[in-house]
Structure 1
Amino acid sequence: MTVVDPWPAPRAHDPVDAVVSLPGSKSLTNRALVLAAIADGPSVVRRALRSRDTTLMAAALSALGARVDTSGDDWLVTPGDLTGDAQVDCGLAGTVMRFVPPVAGLSTGVIAFDGDPHMRRRPVGEVLKALSTLGIHIDDEGRGSLPFRVHGTGHVRGGTVVLDASGSSQFVSALLLAGARYERGVDVRHDGKPVPSLPHIDMTVAMLREHGVVVDDSDANRWSVAPGPVRALDHLIEPDLSNAAPFLGLAALSGGSMTVREWPRQTTQAGDALREILALMGCEVAFTDEGLRVTGPDRLQGIDYDLHDVGELAPAVAALCALADSPSHLRGIAHIRGHETDRLAALATELGGLGADVVEHPDGLSITPAPLHGGVFHTYADHRMAHAGVLVAAAVDGVLVEDVATTAKTFPDFAGLWASLL
């Protein structure tokens, strides 16, 4: 395997004690941008995350006709006429690939979508089939993947659609975000295995309601959005709690203490589950006036944990489990095989390559304590895999993390902040 820019990630020889401020949430920023672009007036996304995924979203919505001023920390979004043909670069952003096509259906042009080569393997077919059912013309030549074209007619009929969202909660969120602008709204019904990452759908529903959109989620596996205006509303973006995983994990493995500033007491972010996970691993977890503080134990404990709703945390948690003193089993995460890479296979390969005893299951990993050694930890252009790599490197001599720059997807200058702590 070709090694891209191997980084000698720093080792933690002593307990790490620090206070950090994290960039804003990618999930919140991109949802806020979509809603602002189809709202009934201008609005501001305050403390927006500036990363590859969010700048791709801003560019995509601008291509469709909205005006997104990203020159400052607070981004001004002015809805515009969704007219004319356009091209959308999805990069490696699942939110762009899935959230923007339902908006493109409201345009009067042909909108062409493509992205990085790996994105052509990420699932989007359920969204495209649903949009076709709702009255949007999709041209994907039967692939159910990138590249594809959305032929907008200026309006979308909307109505009821049944889909299998077991591959990604984003399939549901994509339809809900634009649904209020459809003539009949949208009634999304899931039929299949359990939907993963439900907190992300809860996040979407909560944000829609803040914008005055009527959403009925009282029935399991069904979400209904009534037609109507999307009220313009300013959003203040919370810190990205999933991006806190490596930093809190550093305190956990080094026996130190880490405080993440401005951790919300109430949130829909999946990363909030870190409080429970790290407590189960033996950490002390407490809110302070500054934020959330995690203090590591003398010995990390393994866990048996269902990560189905918070699969994005799996790489960092798996790395900590490989450093724990007792066995772990992480389950409920078959769906992360369809993320930026097949994360289960990648984690089994990379942790195993450094000496970890890892058994890959269809929906998870079993990890038994074993001596680890140095080597290259490949990231597969996946920012969460880089989080796992730097955690192992902090505890094991001689680990090189390949392509740490991939963290710019959701965290600019991650490596710089990480190095400053060690």
Structure 2
Amino acid sequence: MLFDKYIEEVSECWRKYFTKISALQAAGELESNKPGTMLYPNMILFTNCSGYYTCELFGVSEVYTGLTIKRSKSTSIYRYLSQFDDGVPDPVIQLNSNGRLSFFLLSHSEDRKLISERFPSINLHATFLHRANGHGSVIGFGDAFDFCKIDCCTLINVSGVLHRCKDILHLMISRSSINRSGIYKCYSDYFEEPAVKGVQTVEGDELKFKVIAGQFQNIYLLKGLHETVIGEFFKLHPEVIYRAFNTDSFYYEPYLKWIEHDGTCEDEAINPDLLVRRLDGFYDIFDLKTGLLERTNVTKGGRKRRRFIDYVEEGVAQLANYREYFSYEKNAALAKEKYGVEVRAPNLVLVVGNWENSQLDEVHQACRRYPDVKIIDYDTLCHMFLSPKFDSNK
């Protein structure tokens, strides 16, 4: 089946299902075996994994509002699952036929306490399967495999001293040769079961925020994902920005035309990723990059010549361009008229990298040339969201 057709068929299955479930909920015809709030996904990500297709649900919404479709590409299913490489694994579980995994934490590392310091959401799972001396993806596939469904599971992947966490709400994996009847076979019995699929029930904001954080980490630790998917996650989950940056207002991708400039500007407009209001009422400027999973360090050079790699430098240059926009009176007036935004002595914030490639001392050294620029990695941002008093300078 062509990838586009697969996306069309599977997304329609889920949309019909969630429309039905939300109607049953509104009619009071759903029962829960535990107290709490039922949370729907709001994003569906399809990935072409060279011989395999995946469909993964993301997001947290107390009301079903539809599914935003995103697509991605991976060199193999094992790179997608392992988050490190596409080598043939020695897995925790080998799937040789069609099946399902539910409510498991699968790992090649037994140090759950250490891992939970970076990935707090793993403590939501009680069943922990660990295989000593395994490597690569924690899930393997045999020749007879056609498709499987993975519900409410977490995969802990290890490469040397590095750890990654894949927190899964729902993931379907199938051979790319699957046809329409195969998709129907995969989902028909599954959707007819009494338990509601693709949703979570949590009690209290603390658990809800951990669910959001786990899915957020799953997003930015996925290789090959574009910045726009991260931005879309923020758009669908504004509480991440509200809590992490102690703000009551932000704008995602505001569109502002250049009305005034020095005559050398060739762009029609600026479109910053985020404008975030400070406590004094003025707005700071944010640019979102990726977790840079393929890089071991976001900086280069020794201490006295410490500087950022080109990808990060481009982000800093983009922020400087946005700051220049607001230095012109007519541009500033347009921003205030259109969005109610006022910018004065803005902090320029670049979100890029992760704890594996962002050494705090080295990042501070590279920032010496840019006293008004702050670099925040995604793991730190995630912990700022979970603990609003978390110190990003630690």
What is the TM-score normalised by the length of structure 2?
A: 0.30
**Higher alpha-carbon Rg:** 2
Which structure's relative contact order is higher, taking Cα pairs within 8 Å and 6+ residues apart? 1
